[in-house]
Each structure stands twice: as structure tokens, then as C-alpha cells.
A and B are shown apart, each in its own frame.
Chain A
């Protein structure tokens, strides 16, 4: 959506005339943008009002929206726009005063009005004027509907109640002054504007349209305010229609900012993060800071501020998915009417946020899926009743965050997709042999509808026609790194699940290396790390289909060798670490040489020709300026020809059930060289800290983690029940889960994640030790992480001491 900050800088300008023109134009553009938003809101409100005709607040909101458009169009001299909105306003006034009831005809007329306004606005946007169509018939329709409804109502014998409530401040004169009052809100009392807008229409108006003053009040001062401020108030949260007085502050607290400007802001912050990383690694490496505590302090401060700035800047990229969802009630309503179906649309999680750049990309695919659901999924009321279902179909649209992704689900309770017809069609089109098709599970068969041009209604007689353009939906979603899945059951309905990456520009990632080249893996996909070098190496065996698998807690985990998959010349034998990755339907172990570090990376786009390889999600620049590719785990799995869900599908039998029940432990080596275990559920992540992030405060060691100070205790000290600062220039620490508390435990290194052969024996509990587990036949102490926290429960300074 067009957004521009209205910055009028008072620069001395030689082309005064030009400027006036372009300013006026800017106002018109603002008006268009604002009106577009108002229209979306109107669509939503009208559909909602249809369901609940007595929602007076909703009606008031509709009224205000129409009124604002009317007022502003008068100001710009858009007479046709003024005329039809005026008629609409009249109808709404009748409605609001209880003179008429909302019925299909009234709703239809009002929706037609919204469409007409939209088309005039489009016209204005394209040509600068209102176009040829005068919409006289619409104005007449609106007036007629108003009258007819009133007559109908009188006939029905109802008492026509005229509302007498409107309070004192009678508007001085109709439309335009109201707009001026709204504009005055910018500087004066905001309440005044809403009041004026509210009370004005109560004045009985003639059904015919009084001439709207074509001449605007003196140009320069007021006009800016009207489009900028007033509709902002209209934009206020639709759900609980806020009291008028509460609207104004929201308007004052937000400004319009150019998207490009925000984009470059985020880019610059990304650069700053990289520069910060570089600064840190330089300071860590060199001895330049020795004897210069001031420098260290400055570096530290830059680090803190950068982290905070980064977090704030990232928030500006996020937008709620409501941007897309808000249009759907209207679309579904219109579609249902066209298809002669009854559809109840339920929207859930409209406040789910995702990156703004993705919002526009998912709009068309989701719209298409909704259309499909109404058109082909949900049956006609008669057919539904015959099946024993309620006449109205239920269409549920749900958005939620799930493991670093946004999932959007479109679920209908319609007839489902006839799988057998799809199967036959796939065979007929030569996509699969008859034998293969017969063996294929239904969910695989359904995937065929994503084939280009697979099933149009005309081609497949039995198939409901779903599949038209499904390949386009899939392509669009995949172009942003998302996925589309479909599940369907006859007469139960169809669920389409669209997964969209958050693609925050800055994400935590694991830096790994394979044949001397480094790659980044988004942390969101990493489940655990398993070292292949310790004595307790899980056996790597050949699976049934020849691919390597690893026995992991009683299940078989398929392995993918990164070097082989990427065609890298492998000079190390058998790899060093298995990174267990989980994404959608895939769970597999990626064998890499080593895991370097976990850090925040700035995701940078890569050229389209490289995206199309399907292996990389982007690239990043590390602190030393080196470019590192970000792996796309799904693409890697597909390149390695893993079959989806193979992990779940191959339980190794023997000890599965009992093995899964045992909690897992992280084995670590302490600085003193002994091996201890930490309950895995208590661990959040492993981090390395350089001297610039380590501080001594009040006799304790704390580290700076993005502006938070986290106390660190040496595991050895915890086991000895003492609290002592750590005197090491750099160290590695296991950061405990938030559920435990803000705390880290210093270890020398992580060995692996294990499942004990014997459950935790609490009898062996002592100071700092929760109990003992047996790992590889050896008794291993489990650290009591909560006791580690105890000495730190005294208040810590929440901020970095300057």
C-alpha cells in the first residue's frame, strides 16, 4: 500500500507554482490512500453489520467513513464522489436513526456504493479526474432504497422512532464544515472532530443532494490535515469499536512513513550489526584494548545500543496479517452470493505479525484458496442438508506462529477433493504409472493438484475443479520460501496449510563448516547436535533403501552428508557432527565437519539464479567480511531425495515407547575436565563470550547478551557449592532456559545429547548435584541448575553500569 510521510519542509523554492501543484497532488494522493483504507474498513464493517444489524457502534464507524470521504471529496471538488457518498450517508442516517432496517437490499446498495467509490477513486488515481460515469442511477437507487425501506417498515406497523438524542453542538453547516472540523483536530481538541462528524448527519437532510461547495477553503493550511489526520482516526481498531474519544490519541501517535525509507533504515541497521560484529572480533583479537578500559567500554556500549536498535528496527518490518485478512469477509460474502451458497467465515489470529514484504505476496494466493473453498469446496445448502450438515458452510481462516514460521490454514467443511478422480487424472496425464498410482497414499495423490494445469473443471469431470491455478498458488508461496500442503477427506472437508517463513532480516543461526567452507543454518530448524567423535557414537547404518541412517533414541534418523549433497570434495572421513534438523515433514541429520558458533546473522538476498537452486535461503556477511551462504534445510532434504516423514515412518521397534519417555541430557566437559550432565529441557542455548562481553560486577561474572546482563557461574563452582567470579578472557557457557532463570553455566565444551540408560537416580543427590544417570555404563552427575541460580537471586542491576 502506498504510504508516504507528509513532510513539507519549508525550503525556499523558486518554483512556487510547481510546488503548490505538487502539494495539492500530494494531498489528493493522501486522500486516495486514506480512502482506500476506509473502503476496506467499510467492506468489513458492512459485512459485520449484516450479521449483527443492531451494532450501533459499527454503524457509527461506517457512517464516519462515508462521511469523511464525502467531506474530503467536497474539498477537492470531486462532485460525483460527493453526490453518491451524500446519498449513501442519507441512507445510513436513516439506518442509524432507526427509521429503516438493514436488509439484503440495503446492504447490497451500500456495498455497491463502496464499489462505486472505489472505482471513482481508481479513476482519480489514474487520470486525476472522476471519469465519465456519473453514477446517477446509484444515487437514485440509494435514495429509493431508503424510501422503500422506510415505507416497508411503516407498513409493517412498527413505530418509527426518531432519535432525539443528538446533543447540543449543531453543526454550523452541512458537509464541508464538518471536514474542516475534522482537520482542526490536528491542532485542537480531537474530540471535537468526532463529535462534529457524529452529530452533523442527524440534521434531517433532503434526499436529493445539495450542491457541495466546489471551491475549497483557502488552499494551503487546512487541506493537509483533513486527509492525514481524520482517516487515521477511522483506522482505529475495528474489533471493539473504540469510544470516539479514544480514537484521537492513536491518530496523534502514528505518522506515515515511506516504506522505502523504513527499508533502508533496516538495511542500515543490518550494516551496523555487521560493523559491530567486526569491531568486536577486532577488539577480541588484538591487544589494542589492553590498558584502555575506556575503549572497551565504548565498544560495549555500541554493542548494547546496536542490539536495542536492531530489535526496534525489526519491529518496523512487522505487520499484522489483518492487512490481508480484512478484505476476505467481503470477498467471501460476494462469492457466496454469486455461488448461491451460505458461508460462515471465521477468522482467527488476524493479529499474527509477519514481515511486511511478505504480506503482499501472500494476498493473491490466499484469496485464490478462499475462492476455491467457497466455489468448489463448500456444497450448496441443499446438498449440505441432504448430507446432514448445517446449510451454512464453515470456512475457517487461521493464522499463527509455529516454530519460526507463520502458518495460515484455510479449512472448509465442504465435500472434500475426490482423491480417486485425481488419481485417475494423474495416470491419464502420464504423471504417474497406474501401478505407482495404486500404491500411492492419498495425501501424495492430492499433491498432483499442484501440477501446472492439472485439473480444471472442464478437464476433469468428477473433480470439483479445485486445482485451477493451484500451481500458481504453490509457485507464489514457494517464491518466498514457503510451502503449501493440502489434506482432504470426503464430506469432512479440505484443509490447505500455507507456511510462510518469517524472514526476519536478522535471525539466530548456527555457523557450521563442511570441507573448510562455512554455512549458516537458521537456528529455528535445529533440534539438536550430536557429535560423531565421542566413544558413545551412535551407529551409522545403511537403511533399507540404501541411504545412511542413524539410530537415535530407538528411531532411525536419515542422514544427509552436506559435502556430498553440495558436491564438495570431501577430505575428512565420516564427518564430525550431526545437526538434527526438523522442517515441516522432514526430520533428518545433516552431517557436517564441525559446528563453529551460534550467532545472529543478517539475511541478505541472493541473485535469483542462485535462489532457484533451492539449496540456499540467502547469504550473510560475517564479522570478518566473509560471505556465508544460508542453507535451506528443506531444499537440502529434497536434494538428498529424502522422502517426507521418513523419520516418523520408521520406528525401529524395540525400545521406542520407553525410550521416548526418558528425559534427555546434555553432556558437557567442565573446565576441570570432568564430564557432567545438564537436563536438556533446562538448557536454552550454547554461546561463546569474548572479553568485550564479559564483565565483573559485585564479585560475580556477568555477560552481556543483547543488552541483558546474564550472570555466569562455572559448573565446577556450582558442584562445589560456591560462588566465584570467572577469570578467563573468553569462555563458552550454556544459557539456561527462561523457565529456570537468567543464568549461564560455564563449560569447557559440549559433548553430546544423551538419553540415559538408567533414569535419574535421586538418591545420589548432593550439593549442586541433582542425581546421577548412567551414560555408556558410566555414572554421570546431573547438575542441579536451580541451585546454581540461588546465589544470584539477589537483585542484579538491570542495565549496564555506564
Chain B
């Protein structure tokens, strides 16, 4: 493709507007896991599904609960409780699937429940406090203080990338 491509008007923000608004807030999906609130960049969320039948993958890293059929696409489902080191969900909970696209591949996060979609100003995100929240520290990007508690921001690449980490391998059932 040549660099002198025809100028096609795009929907992106005009540069001057970006200059005035310091940093636009980012949109996040928030969800519950073992009573805590977590958030993930809403930009990479493709859809949210109710509990789906899963095909287990023997010998897969522990948090990969199985594969789901997303209209013919095979999507691995990651149990976020296991991924972040929480105890397994009590059986009555049928997890919600938050389907993400990370690096061109689809993944589904199994969470207790979807809460909301919220805007969080990037300025209000604080770095994770060491020791404050041990669970899933490797995926934690930052913390946002919402009205009634903390929202833990997760980084999708880290969730996926850390799947093959040795300590998770050992947790295999």
C-alpha cells in the first residue's frame, strides 16, 4: 500500500480537540469476582454472553476451563477466579462470558457477573499497591477508587500471556 493513499475522512478526533481535552476518559467493563470489582478495557470487549457449554481441554493450563462455540469460532474460556488465584466458584454461580479480542485471537473471561460499563479518567488510575491485593498481581494494571470501593483494572495481554506461567501450570486440576 502506498503512503500517498487517498485522503479518506476518518472519524477520529480532530487534533485540536485532543489538545484541549487533556486525556479522554477510557471506557471499562466492570465485573465481579469473589465479591471484588474488576475492570477491563471495554474497547477490546466484543460481546458478553450468558453461561455457555464448554468443552474441556485436557492438559491445558488450569484457568482454561474449556472451549466455547461462538457462532462457529472456537474460543477458549478463562476462569478468572482461577486465573487471579481466588477459590473456585461455588457451584450455583453460572459464570458470565466476557468475550475479548486480544492480539487477533478471541478469549472469553468467565466472571461471576457483569456489573457495568463505566468511564474512568486515566488520571484517576493509581498504580497497584504492592501487598494490598495479592490476587492476580501479574495482571493488575492499576486501581481506581470508585464511590463505594476499589475497581481493579486488569490488563488483558497479561491475563493471556501469564496463562502458561509455571505457577499456574501447577494449579492444574
Closest-by-CB residue of B relative to A608 is: B105
Known interface pairs A22-B5, A29-B2, A619-B67; A566-B58 also in contact (CB < 8 Å):
yes
Q: Which of A89-97, A157-165, A624-632 contacts B (4 or more CB under 8 A)?
A: A624-632
Closest-by-CB residue of A relative to B106 is: A607
Q: For the complex, is B8 an interface residue (Cβ under 8 Å from A)?
A: yes
Query: Is B74 a contact of A613 with CB atoms below 8 Å?
Result: no
Q: Which of B49-57, B85-93, B116-124, B138-146 contacts A (4 or more CB under 8 A)?
A: B49-57
Query: Is A128 a contact of B2 with CB atoms below 8 Å?
Result: yes
| Contact residues in A for B107 (Cβ distance below 8 Å) | 607
Provide the bound-state CA to CA distance between A567 and B62, in Å: 13
Chain A interfacial residues counted at CB < 8 A: 40
Q: For the complex, is B170 an interface residue (Cβ under 8 Å from A)?
A: no
Provide the bound-state CA to CA distance between A567 and B59, in Å: 7
Closest-by-CB residue of A relative to B54 is: A627
Q: For the complex, is A724 an interface residue (Cβ under 8 Å from B)?
A: no
Provide the bound-state CA to CA distance between A639 and B71, in Å: 32
Question: B interface, how many residues as a size bin?
Answer: 20 to 34
A566-613: which residues lie under 8 A (CB-CB) from chain B? 566-568, 604-610, 612-613
Query: Is B60 a contact of A621 with CB atoms below 8 Å?
Result: no
Query: Is B74 a contact of A612 with CB atoms below 8 Å?
Result: no
Provide the bound-state CA to CA distance between A639 and B57, in Å: 15
Query: Is B4 a contact of A25 with CB atoms below 8 Å?
Result: yes
- The smallest beta-carbon distance between B156 and chain A, in angstroms, is 13
Query: Is B55 a contact of A626 with CB atoms below 8 Å?
Result: yes
| Contact residues in B for A607 (Cβ distance below 8 Å) | 74-76, 105-107
- The smallest beta-carbon distance between B45 and chain A, in angstroms, is 17
Q: Which of B1, B6, B60, B72 contacts A613 (CB 8 A)?
A: B60
Known interface pairs A610-B76, A612-B164; A125-B59 also in contact (CB < 8 Å):
no
| Contact residues in A for B66 (Cβ distance below 8 Å) | 627
| Contact residues in A for B3 (Cβ distance below 8 Å) | 126-128
Query: Is A609 a contact of B69 with CB atoms below 8 Å?
Result: no
Provide the bound-state CA to CA distance between A324 and B142, in Å: 48
Provide the bound-state CA to CA distance between A613 and B58, in Å: 10
- The smallest beta-carbon distance between A263 and chain B, in angstroms, is 14
Q: For the complex, is A18 an interface residue (Cβ under 8 Å from B)?
A: yes
| Contact residues in B for A517 (Cβ distance below 8 Å) | 55-56, 58
- Binary contact track A152-192/B, C-beta < 8 Å → 1, others 0: 00000000000000000000000000000000000000000
Provide the bound-state CA to CA distance between A556 and B58, in Å: 28
Provide the bound-state CA to CA distance between A497 and B167, in Å: 38
B87-130: which residues lie under 8 A (CB-CB) from chain A? 105-107
| Contact residues in A for B40 (Cβ distance below 8 Å) | none
Query: Is A567 a contact of B58 with CB atoms below 8 Å?
Result: yes
Q: For the complex, is A557 an interface residue (Cβ under 8 Å from B)?
A: no
A6-25: which residues lie under 8 A (CB-CB) from chain B? 18-19, 21-22, 25
Q: For the complex, is A616 an interface residue (Cβ under 8 Å from B)?
A: yes
Query: Is A18 a contact of B73 with CB atoms below 8 Å?
Result: no
Query: Is A610 a contact of B1 with CB atoms below 8 Å?
Result: no
| Contact residues in B for A443 (Cβ distance below 8 Å) | none
Query: Is B8 a contact of A18 with CB atoms below 8 Å?
Result: yes
- The smallest beta-carbon distance between B164 and chain A, in angstroms, is 6
Provide the bound-state CA to CA distance between A568 and B57, in Å: 10
A115-136: which residues lie under 8 A (CB-CB) from chain B? 124-128
| Contact residues in A for B61 (Cβ distance below 8 Å) | 609
Q: For the complex, is A733 an interface residue (Cβ under 8 Å from B)?
A: no
Closest-by-CB residue of B relative to A124 is: B2
Known interface pairs A25-B2, A566-B58; A606-B76 also in contact (CB < 8 Å):
yes
- The smallest beta-carbon distance between A640 and chain B, in angstroms, is 12
Q: For the complex, is B160 an interface residue (Cβ under 8 Å from A)?
A: yes
Query: Is A616 a contact of B57 with CB atoms below 8 Å?
Result: yes
Q: Which of B55, B60, B72 contacts A270 (CB 8 A)?
A: B72
Q: For the complex, is B68 an interface residue (Cβ under 8 Å from A)?
A: yes
Provide the bound-state CA to CA distance between A627 and B70, in Å: 10
Q: For the complex, is A274 an interface residue (Cβ under 8 Å from B)?
A: yes
- Binary contact track B1-34/A, C-beta < 8 Å → 1, others 0: 1111111100000000000000000000000000
Q: For the complex, is B163 an interface residue (Cβ under 8 Å from A)?
A: yes
Q: For the complex, is B64 an interface residue (Cβ under 8 Å from A)?
A: yes
| Contact residues in B for A736 (Cβ distance below 8 Å) | none
Query: Is B6 a contact of A22 with CB atoms below 8 Å?
Result: yes
Known interface pairs A607-B76, A610-B76; A29-B1 also in contact (CB < 8 Å):
yes
| Contact residues in A for B56 (Cβ distance below 8 Å) | 517
Q: For the complex, is A615 an interface residue (Cβ under 8 Å from B)?
A: yes
Q: For the complex, is A528 an interface residue (Cβ under 8 Å from B)?
A: no
Known interface pairs A608-B105, A619-B74, A621-B74; A18-B67 also in contact (CB < 8 Å):
no
Query: Is A18 a contact of B6 with CB atoms below 8 Å?
Result: yes
Query: Is A609 a contact of B76 with CB atoms below 8 Å?
Result: yes
| Contact residues in A for B7 (Cβ distance below 8 Å) | 18
Query: Is B74 a contact of A627 with CB atoms below 8 Å?
Result: yes
Query: Is B55 a contact of A613 with CB atoms below 8 Å?
Result: no
| Contact residues in B for A125 (Cβ distance below 8 Å) | 2
Q: For the complex, is A252 an interface residue (Cβ under 8 Å from B)?
A: no
A500-519: which residues lie under 8 A (CB-CB) from chain B? 517
Q: Which of B5, B64, B68 contacts A25 (CB 8 A)?
A: B5
Apart from A125-B2, A621-B69, A627-B67, what 13 extra A-B contacts exist at CB < 8 Å? A19-B6, A22-B5, A25-B5, A28-B2, A29-B1, A128-B2, A517-B55, A606-B74, A607-B75, A609-B76, A610-B57, A618-B74, A629-B57
A sample of 16 inter-chain contacts (CB < 8 A) reads A29-B1, A29-B2, A128-B2, A270-B72, A517-B56, A517-B58, A604-B73, A606-B67, A606-B76, A607-B76, A609-B61, A609-B163, A612-B164, A615-B58, A626-B69, A627-B66
Q: Which 5 A-B pairs have the closest CB atoms?
A: A566-B58, A22-B6, A627-B55, A128-B4, A627-B67
